[in-house]
Structure 1
Amino acid sequence: MEKKKVAIIGGGQVAETKHISNYQDFDDIEIVAVLCRREASACAFAERNGIARAYTDLSDLLAVEKPDMVSVCTPNKFHLKHVTEALKSGSHVLCEKPPGISSQEAKAMHELAESRGLVLAYNFQHRVSEAALTLKEKVQEGMLGDVYYAKLSALRRSGVPGWGNFINKELQGGGPLIDIGIHMLDSAFFILGFPEVKKVTAKMFQKIGPFKEEGSFGSWNPDDYEVEDALFGFIELANGGLIQVDTSFALHMKQAKKLNIELCGDKAGATLYPLEIYTDDKGELVTLLEQESSDDPERTAIHSFVRKCAGSTSEVIATGEEGYKVQQLVELLYKSAEQGETIYL
């Protein structure tokens, strides 16, 4: 049986630690090539991971290798170019989050994939965790009743990445919101069925990144810090519900980090991590559901993408259309914070 061919675009940490091993779980898949900007980096990556060929030009890679699937693991600014070229060559694409720098880019990639009949998925792995899939099911069943408030947290006390391009606004498009907050935005809207948005209000701060003292808060260079430390926002839904978004790289808070979704309905409330659904009975907390999870959502997301490309109709992936909707939310939150006003849709 002829193996399906995969190419890796971008030889960074995520590609090496997540994508490679999860593709290698399939006997009928071969990772045939990797692309990096520098030849030395591409060759070293290929040698470390047992990949036959290394490239520095994407057009050459696509023309020679003709991959069935491509993983795009490059800085955010280059997602549009790399996804577009791969789709035009006839490859299915799994792109790391976020979809791009703007919602216009995300929309263009979605429409191209649709027109070519190809799978475009984004690696929002939290939505395919056991906890998220169970919580979505229980919300749909009405266990929480009318969910009218949600709080999304993607907070780090001292978590500015000291590597990569995460503090470069041109390459990244923003800071904690577009890096870690977008995961909770995607998961929450997935769980709630992508409700219609009415208006967005946000405020962001840059109080620590450019001003940190030597040795405090981490290893980044404050002279290069261009993104927000924290952003806090509210998304008002057309159905009257409210979603609060809290996200930070650096914030004087008690916990070292917090990554969670909290839902409040008129029948019950819930948290995603750990998954708990609870209610109140005469002042006493009553747990309706409690679930411990030991799954690997990153593995699930990549495996689901592979099976979707093979024709499965039951796989949960973050589609190009959903990626566009999530990118639009990020864009609206930034726009509100930059303009200092509520944005109405």
Structure 2
Amino acid sequence: MNKLNVGIIGCGAIAMEKHLPALLKLSDKVNVKGFASRNEEKAKKGANLVGNDAKIYTDYKDMLQDPEIDVVHICTPNALHSSMTVEALEAGKHVMCEKPMALNSQEAEEMVKAAERTGKKLTIAYQNRFRKDSILLKQACTNGDLGEIYVAKAHAIRRRGVPTWGVFLNKEMQGGGALIDIGTHALDLTLWLMNNYEVESVTGVVHNKLRHENKANPFGPWDPDHFNVEESAFSFIKMKNGASIYLECSWALNSLDEREAMTTLSGTKGGAEMRRNTALGTNELIFNTEMYGNLVSTQLQNAAGISYISPVEETDADREMAQWIDAILEDKNPVVEPRQALVVTQILEAIYRSAELNDTIKF
């Protein structure tokens, strides 16, 4: 089997701490051959971590024209996702693009069309689908254990956790704040578990209320005068079959119920909840139903894994990268399909639009 040569565009934390370590574990299938960044020192750092003949590019277009590169991972700010992805696909590369897919639905649609036109693989890096609890819950949903899922809540709540590095607070580069950053994960996870992408309407609100409350932020204080994105967003999403999703997300909210990239599902046969055990610092997966005239709840003890026991425990990023590389080698669909990610982007765009117009957006 020939190995795939992978190039990484953007050499920040998400590239160096998520993509690269997981790719290096696939050394029987992958060679990491290049790093592209306008900051040459960051590209050199990536090449040094690989320790082979990895190339350095200060212009990503040079990487795209390199015939040795088969696959490109795009780990740049959101505003660059669409154009870089389309260019990479047109250059004959398979593409994994970091979330969110794009700033808006038009850009996302261009990415989908480019993938379909070129026949190259495209996926979006929604790694929370690859957590152990997510995989188990997906199996339960697919098996019909919950029955018809008609009510869901998508959770992305931090009590304080505003990212103060990079361009997270830059609306022009990111397209928004907490909603497009962490709300996108909770929404993607919920839609995927429900296997429902037919949206009827979206109603949303966004807030920037706590921009001056920065003293308790674990990532350090920010400049309130340059915090021009929302720290919170809330939405009611109605699906065409009558199902509904309530999305809550915030980088900073005065709430003790902290849950990020989690969901609550309610079906005709039973329900399921992803919860955060703050005392133990672990995630929990709880199923609920009725049995013999009684209400029953069942908690899966190791659904989220016990990675602290072994430093070589497989991570969600490991599983994400492995399925992606196999999808290319075996010519099959990746777990995160482009048109699924497109719907996520359409909903995010509709939430912002609904908040702006103070109205419900019809699909």
Quickly name the TM-score band, shorter chain normalised.
Answer: over 0.9
Q: How does 1:1-345 map to 2 (within 5 A)?
A: 2-26=2-26, 27-50=28-51, 52-209=54-211, 211-212=212-213, 215-217=215-217, 218-255=220-257, 257-273=259-275, 274-281=284-291, 284-287=294-297, 290=300, 292-293=302-303, 294=305, 296-313=315-332, 316-345=334-363
CA shift in 2, pair 1:246/1:229, >3 Å: same
Greater mean alpha carbon deviation, residues 52-61 or residues 248-257: 248-257
Give 5+ residue unaligned stretches, structure 1: none
CA shift in 2, pair 1:153/1:257, >3 Å: closer
CA shift in 2, pair 1:25/1:312, >3 Å: farther
Shift of 1:192: 0.9
Shift of 1:267: 1.9
CA distance in 2, matches of 1:3, 1:298: 20
The letter of the residue matching 1:103 is S
The letter of the residue matching 1:121 is T
Instruction: Find the residue that maps to 1:64 and give its secondary structure.
Output: coil
Contact 1:131 1:291 in 2 (8 A): no
CA RMSD of aligned residues (A): 2.0
CA shift in 2, pair 1:289/1:68, >3 Å: same
Shift of 1:139: 2.1
CA distances 1:72-96 after superposition (whole Å, capped 9, x unpaired): 0000000112111211111100111
Shift of 1:133: 2.8
CA distance in 2, matches of 1:260, 1:275: 10
CA distance in 2, matches of 1:118, 1:2: 17
Instruction: Find the residue that maps to 2:65 and give its secondary structure.
Output: helix
Contact 1:135 1:272 in 2 (8 A): no
Q: Taking every aligned residue pair, what percent have the same amino acid on both sides?
A: 36
CA distance in 1, matches of 2:64, 2:316: 29
CA distances 1:55-113 after superposition (whole Å, capped 9, x unpaired): 11122122235311110000000011211121111110011100110111111111111
CA distance in 1, matches of 2:253, 2:71: 39
CA distance in 1, matches of 2:56, 2:158: 36
TM-score (norm 2): 0.88
CA distances 1:232-274 after superposition (whole Å, capped 9, x unpaired): 1100111111100000011111245544200111221111352
Greater mean alpha carbon deviation, residues 239-248 or residues 256-265: 256-265
Shift of 1:44: 3.2
CA distances 1:11-31 after superposition (whole Å, capped 9, x unpaired): 000110111111112223211
CA distance in 2, matches of 1:122, 1:40: 27
CA shift in 2, pair 1:130/1:48, >3 Å: closer
CA distance in 1, matches of 2:139, 2:299: 12
CA distances 1:259-311 after superposition (whole Å, capped 9, x unpaired): 42001112211113522221135885313573523252211111111000102
CA distance in 2, matches of 1:229, 1:18: 25
The letter of the residue matching 1:320 is P
CA distances 1:122-162 after superposition (whole Å, capped 9, x unpaired): 11111233322332232233221222210111001111001
CA shift in 2, pair 1:258/1:23, >3 Å: closer
Instruction: Find the residue that maps to 1:341 and give its secondary structure.
Output: coil
Contact 2:189 2:261 in 1 (8 A): no
Greater mean alpha carbon deviation, residues 217-226 or residues 44-53: 44-53
TM-score (norm 1): 0.93
The letter of the residue matching 1:94 is M
Contact 2:161 2:252 in 1 (8 A): yes
Contact 2:96 2:123 in 1 (8 A): yes
Instruction: Find the residue that maps to 2:145 and give its secondary structure.
Output: coil
The letter of the residue matching 1:37 is R
Contact 1:34 1:46 in 2 (8 A): yes
CA distance in 1, matches of 2:113, 2:242: 30
Partner of 2:280: none
Contact 2:11 2:37 in 1 (8 A): yes
CA distance in 2, matches of 1:291, 1:85: 45
Number of residue pairs matched by the alignment:
342
Greater mean alpha carbon deviation, residues 295-304 or residues 14-23: 295-304
